[in-house]
Amino acid sequence: MRLFQSVPERFRRTSGSEKSVVPPTGFTAQLTLFSAAAMAFLAVFALALSQASGRLADRWSAELARSATVRINAPKDQIDAQTEAVMKVLKTTVGIAEARVIGKDEQQALLAPWFGPDLPLDALPLPQLIEVIEDETGYDSDGLRQRLAAETPGAVLDDHTRWRKPLVKAADRLRSLGLISIILITLTMGAMIALAANAALAANAQVIRVLRLIGARDAFIVRAFVRRFTLRAVGGALVGTALGMVSVAFLPAASTAGGFLTGLGFRGWNWFLPLTIPLLAGLVAFWATRWAAFRRLRELT
């Protein structure tokens, strides 16, 4: 501050050419700042949403794709024989890494959360379950189904696609919605800045006229406006992004046991992603203002 005061007033006021040729406009400046901040805030959430749903989709498709279950419904006395037959089929099927009979204990553990630990498993007509893990190449599920049907009428292959597909689809859709939101937010911000720039250009028509008359090139005039709006957009977006990131960071953590929601947030290096928002805002403001300014200048001599 002291440094500034020691600079002679005249020097300070005559330097910095295009900075001062446009009169300051408090109101549009504040509106632009606010819009940029709000849009950046929303963009952080859209980004967090698409990140989280992306993770969800990846995890579901990865985990569920690798495993399948064969369920054997048969009278009690035939179960063991059928299980053996199924295991034989599975062992000779190409693309299956492992097939494992799920024992009574394990079945009990699986069901305990729903029916309590004291479930009399023996009394229930529970099917026998066999877990099938596929290897890298994978197996032909239709072929396997046909072979199972031929050998053991009570065996049903459940490769989870039935309920996995819609879930993964939903998560993928959620991710695209997040991305579409980001695109829309970007375009809206561009539109708002173009509108604000247009208003500023209209309000300063006389200034622009005078500048042209004394020999200013379009680029000089455009620079004065672009500089201003880019700085405002970046400033606003920095504030909005910071607030958005803080809000995301302090979201209550989703239950880890359920794992159904992976938590709306960023993981690891993904925390750097929202930092691109102010950059993007600056770029958008730069181009939107340039476009608006050159368009308007073409109407003058």
In the complex with another protein, which residue's Cβ is closer, 165 or 209? 209
| 222 touching another protein, by CB under 8 A | no
Cα separation, 291 vs 193, whole angstroms: 11
Binding piece for another protein, criterion CB under 8 A, among 8-16, 118-126, 128-136, 268-276: 8-16
Residue 211 and residue 290 in contact, taking contact as beta carbons nearer than 8 Å = no
Q: Is residue 209 involved in binding another protein (CB under 8 A)?
A: yes
Of 39-47, 151-159, 210-218, 228-236, the window that binds another protein (rule: CB under 8 A) is 210-218
Residues 6 or more apart in contact with residue 234 via CB below 8 angstroms:
36, 278, 279, 281, 282, 285
Task: Check binding of 202 to another protein (CB under 8 A).
Answer: no
Among 100, 165, 217, 267, binds another protein (CB under 8 A): 217
CA dihedral 221, 223, 225, 226 (to 10 degrees): 150
- Is 201 one of the binding residues for another protein (CB under 8 A)? no
Q: Which residue of 75, 117, 215, 268 would you call a contact of another protein, by CB under 8 A?
A: 215
Q: In this structure, what token pair is assigned to residue 118?
A: 């004291």
DSSP for 116-137 reads -TT--GGGS-PPEEEEEEE-SS
As a whole number of angstroms, the distance between CA 227 and CA 286 comes to 8
Q: Is 213 in the site for another protein (CB under 8 A)?
A: yes
Structure tokens at 110: 């699986």
Q: Give the torsion sign (CA, 273, 276, 277, 280).
A: negative
Q: Which is nearer to another protein, 23 or 116 (CB)?
A: 23
Q: 13 or 165, CB closer to another protein? A: 13
- b/e 181-207 (16+ beta carbons within 10 angstroms → b): bbeebbeebbebbbbbbbbbbeebeee
Q: How far is the CB of 28 from another protein (least distance, A)?
A: 15
Write down the least CB distance from residue 260 to another protein, Å: 60
State in angstroms the smallest separation of the CB of 4 from another protein: 17
User: Does residue 212 interact with another protein by CB under 8 A?
Assistant: yes
By CB under 8 A, the residues from 80 to 139 that bind another protein are none
Q: What is the DSSP-derived secondary structure letter of residue 275?
A: G
21 near another protein, rule: CB under 8 A: yes
Nearest to 132 by CA among 162, 105, 161, 159: 159
By CB under 8 A, name the one of 7, 20, 163, 295 that touches another protein. Answer: 20
Q: How far is the CB of 5 from another protein (least distance, A)?
A: 17
Beta bridge partner(s), residue 68 = 132
Positions touching another protein (CB under 8 A) are 10-11, 13-15, 17-18, 20-21, 23-24, 206-207, 209-220, 297-298, 301
